[in-house]
Structure 1
């Protein structure tokens, strides 16, 4: 491997290990190479995973709440859970596909973080045959709307279902107890829908950046995987721009709407999995799988400017899954969801985290790669999903939090981004942690099987209390 690739492997010594039976997710492989959905769940036996003894206290974290997610559906069936977000002391938990989806977004009042109170469910009966994984909530002020706006991803369970459609919903959650539907943006029926998204403001304007995996492929180029949508008037969202990877010289005609003949001579998958925007609303970071994290200046959202992208060593599976920022936006953290560690022509490794200096976005510089040893054994014949790969990153100050499925939440000191060091880990029983989010004085996690977890600092030993980048 190129000498630029600095590997930091860190082990935490604070855990005791015992047998548990986590519930894994069966992947849906839509095209034949990459899985982006976690699917229905099934129990597997003989699985060993790390768990905390007793109170699950870490060096500076403790679990203060794991509320039982009460069934709210009329049919009495429970959904599985997806990502988590927080805004103004309320947690928003997306839902997954178990029991045919349509679980919507669950809202919790965190006034007392040790006793979260579920106060509302929304986006659960708008479009049949869909699931609502991702929710972003921001305070916006535009000529058409002033208040707290929620955008919710909508994905089809079956794109051949004539009653379903994909895209994203917009809700007024100024009063989180009574969410009000405002509008819907629809992407091509030929694709599953919008997978991950992000909401940002630019003065008195609001825009959503949307990841619509395989839209280019399934619509034969009519719609693209990355689109920017004006939601200044949430009742009337308007598409402003979409990205064609063929505009990049290293891609050009070597792209057929999904597979890309990359410069290293390998045929690699290329699609948009996730999007995010920095706190200024100026820069977008788009996780384009084996094209890396692609960076745009979107200060003019009708005419974004391509700035640069991360790349990979020839023996690395790309799998740029999601990203976040640190150090005032000068550091990019990129997580790679590699669920299959054995692939001919590539290193044998599950997904791990990469950290870049992006002060010059036209030339990202790799500072380090963070690998953590999740010391549990899943029989290879059963290890067909995501148990051992990293998933999503969030940052507060100098601490990076990684959701890690069966590994729970891993906390990493990135004071020196060239030398990341694992400092703590939280692993609930039957861990299958999808999302992590930092808000106020608590850390939130969402477990696919059991839902919301609330963690807090133990005796204010957490050394950084700056505003998180989400």
Structure 2
């Protein structure tokens, strides 16, 4: 769910280093053995600096098959699933300090945003392919027969995922958000995409909508687009041509959308027909990128991806309000909410001119009754934030590496950092999967909150002992 540095549709076609043209077969799989530092019985040595209350405990480097950018993460049981512009990797995290690669699915399509639902994996395709199969080569966006949208996999056997079907959506799928149906028999996937053009037959302007895919759980092969709700009938902000990302909070029947020039709230009590209930704009924001609710739903943290994720925004050339988070409290009535600005937050650790750094994907640390957040900042590393006072958020912990290259800017760093069942998992675009242990008494109560499944953009309500 998460994001791509820069334009999702054109800029990074050449950045998919290993994704040029695969054989025209359906699915290429590599099942690998243990890939952690513990595999050779040597002690893990971190190449990062951390605050005293964080410990870097493991890193799993990318394989040659995934020699493209890592992207987002989703979690199911003892497994983490990592998206990549070339496909996805399944990690066994039953021993978090010694994660192992279980399988890799080579299935390029650009960004590779992931959500998991039981035995199903939903996978975003945002670069046109010649057809729906995993081996199909990339084609120009001007090709009317090109496929973009969602692929669906069966991951009941984590060592041998199987491709089920694909669903085409207008402008492809930059990110996807899972909203489980209230009947327990249906999943709804909100597909966010943007950057239309008169020259793109499958991505026509104004594209002020999202696509809703309905997936019957007993027959996922019959998944289809069930609706295309227009979120901005008046056009929204002049820069808004679709949404970048949506975070749903199904137990509260609400969602927050980050839609380029607009931040929105939605009523999703009928998940098939989301309704916008509030729209907010901020002249300081360059690109509304993602959103997270507090557990009580009283605050929303939006992020601004100034510079598209490939620029050095954490230098003295940019102030503390640029490329930052914006915290908004939710006021008004449930059927007529109002977003009220509270503050900005940006990491206080200045980075170099050769490090892309800007606010990116994160999640709550589930401390009951408290508001803590862990967040990726690309080469700014990982930040742990106390925002119990929305007007005065503070960094209380951090993880940070040296630049990939000290002489020139090479994009990389933490794309997403999420707390899951006792540890933080960070998807580094170039350096692989990092695992971080939190050694802070303020955060220890989160260890009593566990999940069988976690999609950060389908936000669960947490309760102690869950």
Q: Normalization by structure 1: what TM-score?
A: 0.72
Q: Which position in structure 2 is the counterpart of 1:299?
A: 269
> Alpha carbon RMSD of aligned pairs, Å?
3.3
Alignment of 1:394-413 (within 5 A): 394-397=363-366, 398-413=371-386
Q: Which position in structure 2 is the counterpart of 1:358?
A: 330
Query: Which of residues 213, 219, 226 in structure 1 aligns to 2:210?
Result: 226
Please give the alpha-carbon distance, in whole angstroms, between the structure 2 residues aligned to 1:350 and 1:286. Answer: 20
Query: Which of residues 141, 158, 182 in structure 2 aligns to 1:159?
Result: 141
Equivalent position SS for 2:68: coil
Q: Which position in structure 2 is the counterpart of 1:445?
A: 426
Q: Which position in structure 2 is the counterpart of 1:8?
A: none
Please give the alpha-carbon distance, in whole angstroms, between the structure 1 residues aligned to 2:328 and 2:231. Answer: 22
Equivalent position SS for 1:175: coil
Q: Which position in structure 1 is the counterpart of 2:163?
A: 181
Q: Which position in structure 2 is the counterpart of 1:393?
A: 362
Q: Which position in structure 2 is the counterpart of 1:3?
A: none
Q: Shift of residue 435 of structure 1? A: 1.1
Query: Which of residues 84, 93, 98 in structure 1 aligns to 2:82?
Result: 93
Please give the alpha-carbon distance, in whole angstroms, between the structure 2 residues aligned to 1:456 and 1:201. Answer: 30
Q: Normalization by structure 2: what TM-score?
A: 0.73
Q: Shift of residue 424 of structure 1? A: 1.0
Please give the alpha-carbon distance, in whole angstroms, between the structure 1 residues aligned to 2:121 and 2:76. Answer: 10
Instruction: Tell me if structure 1 keeps the 8 A contact 2:209–2:232.
Output: no
- 1:117-158 CA-partner distances (Å, limit 9, x unpaired): 101123x24xxx62342111123xxxxxxxx22111112164
Q: Does 1:371 align with 2:371?
A: no
CA, structure 1 residues 161+278, in 2 after alignment: closer, same or farther (shift >3 Å)?
same
- 1:60-82 CA-partner distances (Å, limit 9, x unpaired): 22111101222237xxxx22211
Q: Which position in structure 2 is the counterpart of 1:456?
A: 437
- Large movers: runs of 4+ above 6 Å: 52-55
Query: Which of residues 56, 62, 66 in structure 1 aligns to 2:59?
Result: 66
Q: Which position in structure 1 is the counterpart of 2:297?
A: 329
Q: Which position in structure 2 is the counterpart of 1:12?
A: none
- 1:75-134 CA-partner distances (Å, limit 9, x unpaired): xxx2221112222121111112xxxxxx21101001111211101123x24xxx623421
**Matched length:** 381
Equivalent position SS for 2:296: helix
Q: Shift of residue 406 of structure 1? A: 1.2
Instruction: Tell me if structure 2 keeps the 8 A contact 1:213–1:225.
Output: no
Q: Which position in structure 2 is the counterpart of 1:201?
A: 180
Q: Does 1:242 align with 2:225?
A: no
CA, structure 1 residues 439+457, in 2 after alignment: closer, same or farther (shift >3 Å)?
same
CA, structure 1 residues 29+197, in 2 after alignment: closer, same or farther (shift >3 Å)?
closer
Q: Which position in structure 1 is the counterpart of 2:288?
A: 320
Instruction: Tell me if structure 2 keeps the 8 A contact 1:85–1:136.
Output: yes
Please give the alpha-carbon distance, in whole angstroms, between the structure 2 residues aligned to 1:348 and 1:111. Answer: 39
Instruction: Tell me if structure 2 keeps the 8 A contact 1:81–1:448.
Output: yes
Equivalent position SS for 1:372: coil
CA, structure 1 residues 347+235, in 2 after alignment: closer, same or farther (shift >3 Å)?
same
Q: Shift of residue 444 of structure 1? A: 0.5
- 1:263-297 CA-partner distances (Å, limit 9, x unpaired): xxxx43443111221142722222111122x2221
Equivalent position SS for 1:407: coil
Q: Which position in structure 2 is the counterpart of 1:19?
A: none
Q: Does 1:211 align with 2:183?
A: no
Please give the alpha-carbon distance, in whole angstroms, between the structure 1 residues aligned to 2:323 and 2:14. Answer: 19
- 1:368-424 CA-partner distances (Å, limit 9, x unpaired): 211223312317xxx8xxx13111131113211111011111110122222211011
- 1:6-62 CA-partner distances (Å, limit 9, x unpaired): xxxxxxxxxxxxxxxxxxx9855869xxx7x697399xxxxxxxxx99774433221
Higher relative contact order, structure no. (Cα contacts within 8 Å, ≥ 6 residues apart): 1
Instruction: Tell me if structure 1 keeps the 8 A contact 2:292–2:363.
Output: yes
Instruction: Tell me if structure 2 keeps the 8 A contact 1:114–1:454.
Output: yes
Please give the alpha-carbon distance, in whole angstroms, between the structure 2 residues aligned to 1:201 and 1:41. Answer: 32
Q: Which position in structure 1 is the counterpart of 2:115?
A: 136
Instruction: Tell me if structure 2 keeps the 8 A contact 1:195–1:211.
Output: yes
